[in-house]
Structures are given as C-alpha cells and as structure tokens.
Amino acid sequence: MTAPTEITIAFCPAGKLRASINLGNPLLASLDGSGHPVGVSVDIARVLAARLNADIELLVFDKAAQSVAAVREEQADIGFFAVDPARGEGISFTHPYVLIEGCYLVRDGSPVQTNADVDVPHNRVVVGAGSAYDLFLTRELKQAQIVRATSSQTVVSTFLDLGAEVAAGVRQPLEADAQLHGGLRLLEQGFMTIQQAMGLPKTRGDAAARYLIDFVEELKASGFVEQALQRHGVKGACVAPSVTQDS
C-alpha cells in the first residue's frame, strides 16, 4: 500500500529515499561482483522506497559508525544498524527486525574458555571501532583493555598482527576467519544479542517514526525478512519477535 503523501515528504525531503547501507555487517549487506550493494537491508530499503513511491539512492559505508552519522546528520533518510543507547541521540529506532549473536574468538591454546575469562587485566580485546559490540563492551568490560580495529572487517587481522588475546565480533564472520587462518576457536556462548533495526532522523517527526516501526513489523509478520535471509543465504541470524503496537 502506497504511503500517504505527507509521509513520503517526511522521508524524502531531497525528493528521493536516501538509504544508508552498512557493509560492516556482511550478514545484512555486501557488494556483488559488479560492486553494487546487495543483501537483506538493501531489499528492505527497496520495498520502503516502493511504498513511498520514491526513487532510491543507496549510500554505502564500510563502518556502522559512518552509517549512523549519515542518518544523524541527515545525509541519509533511513539506515540499518544495531540498536544501542549511544546511538539514540538524534535517531528514532524501530524495533529490531533481525537478531545476531556477538561472540569472542581466541587462539586454540588460549586459557580463555568462557566469557567470564575475558574480562581480566592482561587481556586485550580487539573490536571494530564504533560497532555495536564496541559500544556494548566499552560499557561492560571493567578490566580487559579494548583495542579498536579500523573496521569490523579488520578485527581478526588486527588481533593476529598485535598478538592480542581476544577478538570480538559477529559469530559468522569470525567463524569464517577462524577457518581461513586456522589455529583459532570461538567461545561457545555469545556475549550479546545484536538487535538490528532501522532508524531515521528524529527531526522527521512522530508520524514518520511510527510509519517505519509499523513497516518493519509488517515485513517481519509477512515473512519478508525470513525470505530475505534465505534468499541471501544468511546463516546464524534469525527474525526478531514481532512487537505489538502496545509494547
């Protein structure tokens, strides 16, 4: 169903829908062989543009922090990123559409066996700068030292180059890097559930924010999000539970 004209105007002040796409989470967005963005978040952005009867412009960023800044500074009209209190200023979030697990990676011979073993004074934990798990672990870790790689994609290479004790990130990319490099293992239990949501500038008003919330809930309930995960071969992520309007 096409959105009311006033909603389209709120979302598209530049005359088109500018969608911020974060390549920092390869489960949800990546570049195809021709260099074009593809993935679950891209599919969702295209559906929203169709609802708004608007052309779409995909603004691609390598890091979540850049994607967030583009929306906060209104260079983009919508974005896809993990919900975190540190990102709330200036952005209205939907409820999550996908849940992803954040995990730790260590060397095979590491004495670190459980999450509780990570937060000790001598451990260096490598994270992607500005990522959801960076923001979370910055609050949660009290003794371990956080080392910030330039991006989520360089966490494991930074971990190896520095000889650090722990790497943190999304489970599936870490698993792929562990298989690539060898001699590495993931801790069995995740340290956080990363809630992937949509967001828009708060300046667009309550009606637009409510429309986006309802839009996400509809795509979850209709099976679109699950189908997109399957279409792009995403493993290890699941559709977030539906949230009623009274929740």
How high is the pLDDT of residue 207? Answer: 97
Q: Are strands 56-61 and 184-186 parallel, antiparallel or unpaired?
A: unpaired
| CB-based burial, 84-110: b 16+ in 10 Å, e otherwise | beebeeebbbbbbbbbbbbbbbbbeeb
Which pLDDT score is estimated for 110? 97
Q: 247 lies in a domain? A: no
> Has residue 217 been placed in a domain?
yes
Predicted pLDDT of residue 245: 58
Can you tell me the distance from the alpha carbon of 110 to that of 151, in angstroms, rounded to the nearest whole number? Answer: 24
Residues 225, 170 within the same domain: no
186 and 106 assigned to the same domain:
yes
Domain range enclosing 233: 5-98+194-239
- pLDDT per residue rounded down to tens, the chain (247 residues): 788 999 999 999 999 999 999 998 888 999 999 999 999 999 999 999 999 999 999 999 998 889 999 999 999 999 998 888 888 789 999 999 999 999 999 999 999 999 999 999 999 999 999 888 999 999 999 999 999 999 888 999 999 999 999 999 999 999 999 999 999 999 999 999 999 999 999 999 999 999 999 999 999 999 999 999 999 999 889 999 998 755 4
CA angle centred on 239, ends 237 and 240, rounded to 5°: 110
Residues 61 and 81 reside in one and the same domain: yes
Write the CATH number for 114.
3.40.190.10
Q: Does 38 lie in the same domain as 105? A: no
Is residue 87 domain-shared with residue 113, that is, in the same domain?
A: no
* Contact call for residues 98 and 232 (beta carbons, < 8 A): no
- Domain-located, residue 165: yes
Identify the residue whose tokens are 């910055």: 138
198 with 93, same domain: the answer is yes
pLDDT of residue 25: 87
Q: Is residue 126 in some structural domain?
A: yes
Answer yes or no: is 125 within a domain.
Answer: yes
The verdict on 90 and 40 lying in the same domain is: yes
Regarding whether 143 and 21 lie in a shared domain, the answer is: no
DSSP annotation string for 127-141: EETT-HHHHHHHHH-
Instruction: Look at residue 103 in the predicted model and tell me its pLDDT.
Output: 97
**Residue 222 CB partners (closer than 8 Å, separation 6+):** none
Q: How far apart are the first and last CA of the chain?
A: 24
Same domain, 78 and 40: yes
Task: From residue 29, give the alpha-carbon distance in Å to each of 52, 60, 64, 88, 180.
Answer: 22, 9, 11, 22, 21
pTM recorded for the entire structure: 0.87
